Amino acid sequence: MAKMDLVELFTKRTRHPFRPRASDIISRLFPSFEQLETPGGSLIAGTCSFMDKQLIVIAQQKPKPENLKSSEDLKKLNYGMLTAEDHSLILTLLKKARTLDTENTVIFCIVDTYGADISMESAQRFQAFFIAHLIKEFLTIPIRTVSLVLGEGGSGGALAIQVTDIRAQMEDALYATAPPESMAAIVFRDATRIRDALMILKPTARDLKKLDVIDRIIPAPKDVANANEFAENVRLFLTKAIKDLSRVRIKKLINKREIRAQKYGVNKGSGTLYDIRRYIETPIKKAFRKPPPDIKIIQHISADQVGDDYDGYGEIQHGDAGEELVECSAAKGGCGGLILLKDLLDNFNVCPKCGHSHILGASGWIDCLADTGSFHELYRNLTVNQLLEEDDITDYYRDFLAKQEGRSNFKESLVVGTARIHHFQVAMAIGSFNCCGGSMGVVFGEKFRRLVDFAIEEHLPLISLCCSGGARLYEGIAALMQMVKTIESVNRLKKQGLPYISILTDPSTGGAIASYAALGDVIIAEPRALVIFAGPRVMESRGFKVDEKLIRSDYLHQLSDDIYDHLELFHDIRGIQEICERKNMKLAVAKYLELYTRTNYRLPKKHKKIIFSGA
């Protein structure tokens, strides 16, 4: 395929209406394919024989032109995006796969989606939780796995089935943290600025191979509509991938998955050669580099951000300084009344008149949860500059980070450390919404991983508090992969038998709720917290109807009561176990820690084998 401009690649090939879909590849490669009945038209799943192996095929399918002929077809806003029910069926397939001959079974996933379904229906069925549990399953399943980004990979909807042993991408496919239109709308407030968005996202196969998101690039035919040539190239890739995987023991593959996940976002090399590149090659490149035209960055949170701008979300209107009064903003859901600043602070930023919760910073949450003076911060000085190469930190990202200075007492959107909660020693990870909207980036993920390592070494329970607007778009796919990194960390914690309590605050959205925050042994939420994968503003911008009351913690907690009656749908997902006011949150966490202690959660130490010699 000839080299193309990035926008041309996106519009003329990745989104070409007659580009082959997953069904075109499957029908040409697998004549014995037995398709299962699926909940909608966006998931293709089934089994077949390939290379004397039993192949389980899981594929996302965008609509073809012939699927969009009627007005009813056009009303399907989630066409090509998997629903919670679709994800449930995939979990069922993976569960069944564990019972098969693991040495002769391979899972093959085909990714081609804008993202996961963000409708109210999927949101109320814990869509974000399904994504987290799917990533967890793909990291741990004792079966060889292969994935292919066929056309487009978008957000956590793609990530849910892409985290496999060998990962490929068509050379003209794109895989990003968010669709470029969404990226442009959020960062620039202009959805037409596709070029600028693509420049930041770096979604090409070559970019992603460099970041170890994919392993192999599959050549694309000159004719974008040539399904036969597409299928033949995929066949050659799949044949070699299965041969390569067959030479490696499954236990070693699982270990490689863990190591790979832990390295995401730590791209900066070290040594003499890297120093030469930084101090000689990089400045020369910068001298001749021109920025994309008309770049003007507007403050944002993420592709999955909450419904309001960062500066407005949870804003408290202050009265005259001498009166020490604040207004409980009616525009943000409060009562509009004036209250004493001291009363608000003493109540952890919850209005004592109406109960409306305003954003509480990391310092406030530490005061709320930890015994006085017991919190000790870890890894405070870890920065983006220590983890990413200079070329990966754009000037607009530096400007964005500069604007965050002074907004928080902490340097990043995740604050980690050790503390005591009613005398129980714990490891704590606190989301800091005041810093970059609590967005998940490479520092966020790395600090979470290091904290889990510390908790395992010290044998401490982990308490996480989610207060996040989503992934940090400036870091591109590296930010999205922090979902995998944090999930792998939780997996390791649970292997050690250590308790993990997840607290959801307002807002709990985006990649955070679709990863570590959804995997708590116990999940507690504060009242009226927004708990959803994509924020209301994003949902509305894509044409979906939104009723915020139905995606708040109180209502989702009510829905959680019914999960035990539908375990075949929800699998290991249990939703939200408890709603708790901020002022009572410390006691709520302590009672679970007490339960863990009384039931002796600590694993017995492994004793060395004693070998007795003969008499």
Q: What is the pTM of this model?
A: 0.88
Query: What are the structure tokens assigned to 104, written together?
Result: 């002769």
Of 329, 357, 602, the residue nearest 460 (C-alpha) = 602
Higher-scoring residue by pLDDT: 289, 195: 195
Q: State the Cα–Cα distance between residues 214 and 211, nearest whole angstrom.
A: 8
Region 50-71 average pLDDT = 92
Amino acid in the structure at residue 201: L
Which residues sit opposite 377 in a β-bridge?
417
Amino acid in the structure at residue 279: Y
Of 237, 194, 188, 199, the residue nearest 215 (C-alpha) = 237
State the CB neighbour count (10 A cutoff) for residue 130.
30
What is the chain's mean pLDDT, rounded? 87
Region 256-275 average pLDDT = 78
Residue 294 has pLDDT above 70, yes or no: no
127-140 and 155-162 helices, crossing angle to 10°: 30
Residue 441 has pLDDT above 60, yes or no: yes
Which residues sit opposite 31 in a β-bridge?
none
Place of tokens 């994800």: 87
Q: What percent of the chain has pLDDT over 70?
A: 88
Q: State the Cα–Cα distance between residues 515 and 532, nearest whole angstrom.
A: 12
Query: What are the structure tokens assigned to 539, written together?
Result: 């949902």
Region 142-168 average pLDDT = 96
* pLDDT given for residue 540 in this prediction: 87
Query: What are the structure tokens assigned to 563, written together?
Result: 């999960």
Residue 39 has pLDDT above 50, yes or no: yes
* pLDDT given for residue 368 in this prediction: 95
Place of tokens 């796919």: 477
* pLDDT given for residue 284 in this prediction: 47
Place of tokens 């033949």: 232
Assigned architecture for domain 6-62+79-263: Alpha-Beta Complex (3.90)
CA 123 to chain centre: 15
Region 466-477 average pLDDT = 90
Residue 488 has pLDDT above 80, yes or no: yes
**Band of the pLDDT at 609, cuts 50, 70, 90?**
very low
Q: State the Cα–Cα distance between residues 537 and 312, nearest whole angstrom.
A: 14
Residue 273 has pLDDT above 70, yes or no: no
Region 603-613 average pLDDT = 47
Region 564-592 average pLDDT = 97
Region 508-523 average pLDDT = 96
**Band of the pLDDT at 349, cuts 50, 70, 90?**
confident
pLDDT tens by residue, 88-121: 999 999 999 999 999 999 999 999 998 999 999 9
Region 400-406 average pLDDT = 87
Map residue 301 onto helix, strand or coil: coil
* pLDDT given for residue 281 in this prediction: 44
Residue 451 has pLDDT above 90, yes or no: yes
Place of tokens 């699982």: 254
The answer to whether 142 and 165 are in contact (CB under 8 A) is no
* pLDDT given for residue 303 in this prediction: 36
Handedness of CA 171, 176, 179, 180 (dihedral sign): negative
* Three-state SS sequence of 69-102: CCHHHHCCCCCCCCCHHHHHHHHHHHHHHCCCCH
Region 142-166 average pLDDT = 96
Query: What are the structure tokens assigned to 8, written together?
Result: 């041309």
Higher-scoring residue by pLDDT: 542, 509: 509
Of 558, 528, 475, 516, the residue nearest 176 (C-alpha) = 475
The total number of residues written for the chain in this structure: 615
The answer to whether 201 and 476 are in contact (CB under 8 A) is yes
* pLDDT given for residue 289 in this prediction: 36
* pLDDT given for residue 608 in this prediction: 46
Sequence spans of domains, the chain: 6-62+79-263, 314-358, 359-598
pLDDT tens by residue, 323-347: 678 888 766 677 878 888 887 887 7
Q: State the Cα–Cα distance between residues 565 and 600, nearest whole angstrom.
A: 30
Place of tokens 């090509």: 80
* pLDDT given for residue 425 in this prediction: 97
Question: Is the backbone peptide bond immediately before 142 cis, with ω within 30 degrees of 0?
Answer: no
Residue 222 has pLDDT above 80, yes or no: yes
CATH number of 359-598: 3.90.226.10
Which residues sit opposite 325 in a β-bridge?
340
Residue 400 has pLDDT above 80, yes or no: yes
* pLDDT given for residue 271 in this prediction: 53
Q: State the Cα–Cα distance between residues 221 and 483, nearest whole angstrom.
A: 33
Region 385-404 average pLDDT = 87
Helix (H) or strand (E) holding 427: strand 424-431
Region 43-50 average pLDDT = 97
Task: Write the DSSP symbol of residue 391.
Answer: G
Q: To 5 degrees, how large is the angle CA 139–CA 564–CA 501?
A: 55
Q: State the Cα–Cα distance between residues 512 and 486, nearest whole angstrom.
A: 9
CA–CA distances in Å: residue 173 to residues 8, 151, 455: 12, 5, 40
CA–CA distances in Å: residue 269 to residues 221, 265, 280: 35, 12, 15
Q: To 5 degrees, how large is the angle CA 270–CA 276–CA 279?
A: 105
Region 294-321 average pLDDT = 41
Region 415-442 average pLDDT = 95
Residue 300 has pLDDT above 80, yes or no: no
Q: What percent of the chain has pLDDT over 90?
A: 65
Dihedral angle over CA of 378, 381, 387, 389, nearest 10: 180
Place of tokens 């922090």: 482
pLDDT tens by residue, 204-213: 999 999 999 9
* Count of CA atoms in the C-beta half-sphere (13 A) of 560: 21
Residue 278 has pLDDT above 60, yes or no: no
Residue 605 has pLDDT above 80, yes or no: no
* pLDDT given for residue 312 in this prediction: 47
**Band of the pLDDT at 187, cuts 50, 70, 90?**
confident
Candidate from 53-57, 516-520, 539-543, 545-549 with smallest mean pLDDT: 539-543
* pLDDT given for residue 269 in this prediction: 59
Map residue 19 onto helix, strand or coil: coil
Identical fold, 6-62+79-263 and 359-598 = yes
Class of residue 412 by CB neighbours under 10 A (exposed 0-12, middle 13-18, buried 19+): buried
Q: State the Cα–Cα distance between residues 147 and 234, nearest whole angstrom.
A: 11
Region 274-287 average pLDDT = 46
* Three-state SS sequence of 454-520: HHHHHCCCEEEEEEECCECHHHCHHHHCHHHHHHHHHHHHHHCCCCEEEEEEEEEEHHHHCCHHHHC
* pLDDT given for residue 70 in this prediction: 84
Place of tokens 């101090």: 279
Query: What are the structure tokens assigned to 482, written together?
Result: 């922090």
Residue 277 has pLDDT above 90, yes or no: no
Of 507, 585, 581, the residue nearest 548 (C-alpha) = 507
Region 166-188 average pLDDT = 89
Of 311, 359, 309, the residue nearest 334 (C-alpha) = 359
Handedness of CA 464, 467, 469, 473 (dihedral sign): negative
CA–CA distances in Å: residue 91 to residues 87, 148, 154, 517: 6, 19, 20, 19
Residue 567 has pLDDT above 90, yes or no: yes
Region 439-460 average pLDDT = 96
